[in-house]
Each structure stands twice: as C-alpha cells, then as structure tokens.
C-alpha cells in the first residue's frame, strides 16, 4: 500500500531532485505522475531505473491523488495549487506563495514537524526558502539550549537557487570569458555572475533589504520562534550547487563552543565537520547530493557576552527544497494520511 503522488515541475532543478529523493528514500508510492508545462509534454524524466513521460499541468485532474509536490514558481502555483487542494490532494509547495499565510504550516521536519496538523485548513503545506531551511536546522538545537536573541547571517548562494536558467547563465558566461567573441550578457542575474559575486537576490524592499533577506527573517520567526531577531545579507556566488552561510548568533545564556559542537553533533539532519586545520571544514562542492546540513568553524564570538560564529553549508536543491519537501511528505503520510 502506498500513495498516489504527483510531482509538479518535474523537468526543473527541484522537480528532478524530488524524483531522485523519492526513489533514494524508497517513499511508498502506488502511482506517480510527473507534470510540467505544455511545452514539455511527453518529455522524459528519470525515476530510479524508470523513465516517465511528463503530462501537462494545465489539463491534469488531481482528484484521487494523495499528495502533490509543487516546484513551479509562484505564478503557476497560484493558478494550480488551489485546484489540487480543492480536489482533495494535499499540496506541498516550494514557492514562496503560501509561506506567510497563517492558515498554511511552514515546515522543516527537524524543527517543527508537529505543525503538520495545520495542513487541513487549506490542504496546503509550505516549504521554506533554501537559505532559511539549512539555517533553522542549525539554530533550533542551539535555541533549545541557550535561547537565541539575535542572528546576523551572510549567505553565499549558488546559481541553481535561481532555477535552470541560473545554472545555464553561469556556464555560458564562464565559457564566453575565454571566448570573447561569444559574448553572453547578464539575463537571469542583474550583473555578470561568472567570476563575480552579486549582493542582490529577489526584489528590493522599501527599507533597502531584498526580499530574499526579508524571507530569512520572516521564515525563521514562523518556523523557530517569533522572538528571534534576524538580519541577513544574501549574496549570489558563482557556485553551481550548494549554499553557504556565515552565521553569528547571540544567546540569552552562555553557550560554550565545545558544548555547541556536541549539541550539533547529536542534532537531527546535521553533520559537524570542524577540525582547526587546513581543509577541516566543508565547502559547497562537497555537500552536493548529500542529505545533511554541514556545520564547520564553530567558535566563540568574544566581542559580545554570549556569542557564537559558525559556517553552515547544504545542497540547496536538497535540504533547501526537494529533500525538505519529501521529508514533509513522509511526516504527512506517517502522522496524518496513514496509508504507507
Ligand atoms: N532551486 C532552489 O534552490 C529552490 C529552493 C527552494 C525553492 N525553490 C522554488 O522551487 C520552485 C521551482 O524552482 P526550480 O529551481 O526547480 O525552477 P526551474 O528549474 O526553473 O524549473 C521550473 C519548473 O516549473 C515548470 N513550470 C514553470 N511554469 C509552469 C507552468 N505555467 N505550468 C506548468 N509547469 C511550469 C517548468 O516546466 P517546463 O520545463 O515545462 O518549463 C519546470 O519543470 C520555485 O518556486 C522556486 O522558487 C527553488
């Protein structure tokens, strides 16, 4: 006995990774449908050893399907997620559309799995922003021990966080730097991304921050604790996959760096690699394809009373999107639908 699962946006970066992870984690599936836009109708995607043909989201009937894992962007989500939910199919959505809706739970299973029961208000569950997901996995166990007051985070986000087009742009621009006749101007990003860094992700807000930075603030409050203050600077870097974050945390209570390291070693979803020697830390290329959020460079911040610094790296297409969505599906199945 398994679930009837729909993957929406199956030809995209996140959709393809969802298929990989459903297979790797042996999710109990009775039937699987893969959807994309009409232009991809009939194109093939891999699911384990199998090859599946994509169907058109626009004409798909969600009645009788248990869960739909959406990875299509906010516009298409706005049009199709309510249809799926109304047909009785629970939507697990990767876009930002429903994340701040009080009637939609926003879930990172290692942090707030118990919020799953709120799904029935709209039949929709939201998946957080990629930068938030990996950060809150690291913050939660430390918050439980010493109560976090404030977080200062700088991100180094890979181009795959901007979809298929982002990775193509880095690839094409990198080649064109060595072949100047083949000029590839910035399209997806606002400036050259090859051999450069761009301190701008998503649109600007009135206060001068960007929407990506605002998302880290609002989502951390919704998932972990509304009292935690967060200030973020989000930067796009020329890395294909894997987001990195330098995180400074101020606590209510003292937390020694050795105790923090032990707490993180025991925490779900985390792998601590923290040797004070050349290469004794994790970089984005090493986290690709992994389920874990990696923590390195744990050290006291001696400029404030109760402060710690750490380095946090994870595969943005996995913990930042597809893995977290599949983990939500696992919790939903286990706690609510109970068919598996
Ligand atoms: N990449 C990340 O790290 C990340 C992290 C967290 C959340 N997200 C979110 O996940 C979603 C997908 O991101 P992505 O990186 O996978 O994007 P992507 O690589 O650009 O893929 C987009 C997918 O959506 C489909 N699609 C787009 N518009 C559609 C429409 N009107 N009808 C049907 N299908 C449509 C595309 O199908 P076609 O191939 O047919 O065009 C494709 O399968 C976005 O909401 C994004 O914000 C991404």
Residue of 6, 10, 18, 36 best suited for mutating to test ligand 1, as the one with most atoms within 8 Å of CB: 36
* Residue intervals in the chain for CATH 3.30.360.10: 131-316
Of 137, 131, 129, nearest to 110 by C-alpha is 137
Residue 59, sorted as left (phi over 0), alpha (psi -120 to 50) or beta, turns out to be alpha
Phi, psi of 173 (to 5 degrees): -65, -40
Cβ of 59 below 6 Å from ligand 1: no
Q: Which fold has domain 131-316?
A: Dihydrodipicolinate Reductase; domain 2 (3.30.360)
CB atoms within 10 A of CB 141: 20
Phi, psi of 50 (to 5 degrees): -90, 160
* Residue intervals in the chain for CATH 3.40.50.720: 3-127+321-337
Instruction: Ligand 1, residue 74: give the atom nearest the CA.
Output: 45
Cβ of 132 below 6 Å from ligand 1: no
**pLDDT of 185:** 76
**pLDDT of 340:** 59
Cβ of 39 below 6 Å from ligand 1: yes
Q: Quote the ligand 1 centre to 148 CA distance (angstroms).
A: 34
- Is 89 considered catalytic here? no
**Class level of CATH domain 3-127+321-337:** alpha beta
In whole angstroms, give the CA distance from residue 43 to residue 192.
Answer: 32
Walking along the chain (340 residues) 10 residues at a time, the average pLDDT comes out as 96 96 97 97 95 97 98 96 98 97 98 97 98 98 98 98 94 89 81 97 98 98 98 98 98 98 98 98 97 98 97 97 98 90
Cβ of 54 below 6 Å from ligand 1: no
- Is 312 considered catalytic here? no
Q: Of all protein residues, whose CA lies closest to atom 3 belonging to ligand 1?
A: 161
Q: Quote the ligand 1 centre to 261 CA distance (angstroms).
A: 36
Q: Quote the ligand 1 centre to 71 CA distance (angstroms).
A: 5
Q: What's the pTM value of the predicted model, to 2 decimals?
A: 0.96
Q: Name residues whose C-beta falls within 8 Å of residue 79's C-beta, 6 or more positions apart in sequence.
A: none
What DSSP line would sit under 54-121, residue for residue?
Answer: -EEGGG---TT-SEEEE-S-HHHHHHHHHHHHHTTPEEEE-SSTTTT-TTS-B--HHHHGGGGGGGGG
Cβ of 320 below 6 Å from ligand 1: yes
Active-site residue identified among 89, 143, 234, 243: 243
The tokens describing 8, both together, are: 């929406």
Q: Quote the ligand 1 centre to 92 CA distance (angstroms).
A: 14
């Amino acid at each position: 006995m398994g679930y009837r699962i729909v993957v929406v946006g199956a030809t995209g970066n996140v959709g393809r990774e969802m298929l990989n992870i459903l297979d790797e984690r042996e999710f109990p599936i009775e039937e699987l449908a893969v959807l994309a836009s009409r232009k991809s109708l009939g194109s093939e995607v891999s699911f384990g050893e199998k090859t599946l043909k994509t169907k058109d989201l626009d004409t798909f009937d969600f009645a009788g399907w248990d869960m739909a894992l959406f990875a299509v962007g906010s516009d298409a989500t706005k049009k199709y997620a309510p249809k799926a939910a109304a047909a009785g199919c629970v939507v697990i959505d990767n876009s930002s559309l429903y994340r701040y809706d009080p009637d939609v739970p926003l879930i990172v299973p290692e942090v707030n799995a118990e919020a799953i029961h709120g799904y029935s208000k709209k039949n929709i569950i939201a998946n957080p922003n990629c930068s938030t997901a990996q950060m809150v996995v690291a913050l939660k166990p430390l918050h439980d021990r010493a109560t976090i007051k404030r977080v200062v985070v700088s991100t180094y986000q890979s181009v795959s966080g901007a979809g298929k087009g982002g990775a193509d742009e880095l690839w094409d621009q990198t080649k064109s730097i060595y072949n100047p006749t083949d000029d590839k101007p910035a399209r997806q990003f606002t400036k050259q991304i090859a051999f450069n860094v761009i301190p701008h992700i998503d649109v600007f807000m009135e206060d001068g921050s960007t929407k990506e930075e605002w998302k880290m603030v609002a989502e951390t409050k919704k998932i972990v604790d509304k009292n935690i203050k967060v200030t973020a600077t989000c930067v796009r870097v020329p890395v294909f996959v894997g987001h990195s974050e330098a995180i400074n945390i101020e606590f209510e209570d003292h937390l020694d760096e050795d105790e923090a390291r032990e707490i993180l070693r025991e925490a779900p979803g985390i792998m601590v690699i923290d040797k004070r020697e050349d290469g004794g830390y994790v970089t984005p290329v090493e986290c690709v394809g992994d389920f874990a959020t990696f923590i390195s460079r744990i050290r006291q911040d001696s400029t404030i009373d109760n402060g710690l610094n750490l380095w946090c790296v994870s595969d943005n297409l996995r913990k930042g999107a597809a893995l977290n969505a599949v983990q939500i599906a696992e919790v939903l199945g286990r706690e609510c639908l109970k068919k598996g």
